[in-house]
Homo-oligomer: A and B are copies of this chain.
Amino acid sequence: MGFKEMFNLARVPSILLLGALYVAYVLIGGVIFWHLEGQLGTRDVGYIIEQKQNLLNKYTCLNAVQDASKAGISLRSNYTTDGFWKFTTSAVFAATVVTTIGYGNISPRSSGGQIFCVFFALFGIPLNIVVLNRVGKYMLAIERNISDFLEGKMNHNTRWIHFISYLSGMVLFFVVPMLVFQNQEGWTYSQAIYYCFITLSTIGFGDFVADNNPEKTYPDWYSILTACWIFFGLAWLALVINHSIEILERINNQLKGWWGSKNPK
């Protein structure tokens, strides 16, 4: 094999190139946010920690505030964690921008960061949609291959197999993450399933955010698994939502047809 042929990128599936572009885009965005916000973040955190310490030294009464915090009045945890805009945090932030989840637990506070965020999203959101659609198509193709294989093997009918594959998706992207989050974050089952849905639907309230509690130590695999879950989950849910829209449109057309035959002009 010649040198030229070895590096013939036309043979590398375009999805890998696109995926690499996507990852590079998010990481470069992360670096820029880190630089734009990092210094500001550190300065602010330093100032605030100092302020907080002064307060606590002067007025020991402030334990009462910490009690009140449990009832909803909280010292915003953003600013009390060390190293607010670290590189990893910035990369996660960049990912929440391009996916439009936008938890908002951290967000740019400098004008430069805010303006960069606008341009970053302007190209990142379309790129994200293209990548997720492509990944979704691959997932559908894999699902069809497995379905066809099972259909030939076990003589089940197609509808039944499609239902099972839909159910497997639900288990893989909702039930398994729910159990993991319940275990790792200490949320209730209903909070965990709510978090899963709010994230994958890209609503992203930010009232619950995984891998973000400064009081917890998470295992190493946790953040990687969470990122993979979000990425493939978004692709899968986009498929399901597109399917729901098709069904809605079909019902709409059927209603129209039914109405037209009952009320001919």
Between A18, A48, A118, the greatest number of chain B beta carbons within 10 A of the residue's beta carbon is seen for A118
Of the residues B75, B102, B115, contact of A73 by C-beta under 8 Å: B75
Minimum Cβ distance to chain B for residue A99 (Å): 9
Beta-carbon contacts of A98-109 to B below 8 Å, as 1s and 0s?
A: 001111100101
Minimum Cβ distance to chain B for residue A53 (Å): 11
User: What residues of chain A have their CB less than 8 Å away from a CB belonging to chain B?
Assistant: 8-10, 14, 18, 44, 47-48, 51-52, 55, 58-59, 61-62, 64-65, 68, 71-76, 78-80, 96-97, 100-104, 107, 109, 111, 114-115, 117-118, 121-123, 125-127, 129-130, 188, 190-191, 193-194, 197-198, 201-207, 241, 244-245, 248-249, 252, 256, 259-260, 263, 265
Q: Which residue of B lies closest to A75 (CB)?
A: B73
Which B residues are in CB contact (< 8 Å) with A260? 10
Which B residues are in CB contact (< 8 Å) with A68? 48, 51-52, 55
**Distance in angstroms between the alpha carbons of A122 and B197 in the assembled complex:** 9
